[in-house]
Amino acid sequence: MIRHRRATRIAALALGAAVIGVFGLASSASAHVTVNPREATQGGYGRVAFRAPTESDTASTVKLEVTFPEDAPLASVSTMPMPGWTATVEKRTVNPPVEVHGSQVSEVVSKITWTAAPDAGIKPGEFQEFPVSMGPLPETDRLVFRVLQHYSDGNVARWIEPPAADGSEPENDPAPVLTLVPAASEGGAPATSGPDVVAEPAGADDDEDEGDSAALGLAIAGLVAGLAGLALGGLAFARTRRQDAPPAV
């Protein structure tokens, strides 16, 4: 039991170190525009922020254009006021309309452009988050946003490349991706689909708990038996000493 727990603890520490190393490398390599958080629930509303770091050493980010995916229209998108920045929302017509709470919506957001006021740009070595609230989120695996990042010197960074077929991030100009997961079922368990979903065998934790309880019971029984044997031995030793003692004069 002790060896098992010690091995489990060591394995957990090793896994944690590996995860920290992987995510440390990922964060150091990803200086492009991202969406945070990177995961939301299908069918609901989500608040996310487009995080834009300025990679230039000499120029500031002065405009950010975010184009929404055409294959997954969003009926409701709201921006948050940001001091020094102006948000312009563009819409497009969709056919068939998108149903939202029983109503048919024929116009959806196609692009949001944030423009900085003079001296309000994102300076070198800084980043800015551009929050939005959007929904209902479609029942699809992910949303891929195309982003153009404009600099004060006229250069434009194009974060427009979608993930590869296997889901991996492209080496150059990766687009921000919001992963969408199914909502929980009525019974409280996450909805599952596809062959990649692996469920843990039912009762696995119960079996482990029962095994631990049985081991604890055996240990207690052994301790009680040992104490009883010690007591009996003490009584026998005392009786023997009384029998061997010389009679009193």
pLDDT in tens, the chain (249 residues): 555 555 455 444 444 444 344 333 333 345 799 999 999 999 989 999 999 999 999 999 999 999 999 989 998 899 999 999 999 999 999 888 887 777 788 889 999 999 999 999 999 999 999 999 999 999 999 999 999 999 999 999 999 999 998 888 898 999 999 999 998 765 554 444 333 333 333 344 444 444 445 544 555 555 555 555 555 555 554 554 555 555 554
Domains of the chain in sequence order? 32-167 (2.60.40.2230)
Contact status, residue 94 vs residue 106, Cβ threshold 8 Å: yes
8 sits in the region (left: phi over 0; alpha: psi -120 to 50; else beta) called: alpha
Q: Whole-prediction pTM value?
A: 0.62
Which pLDDT tens digit goes with each residue over 38-84? Answer: 999 999 899 999 999 999 999 999 999 999 999 899 988 999 999 99
What CA–CA distance (Å, rounded) separates 38 from 40?
A: 7
**SS3 state at 108:** strand
Helix (H) or strand (E) run with residue 187 in it: none
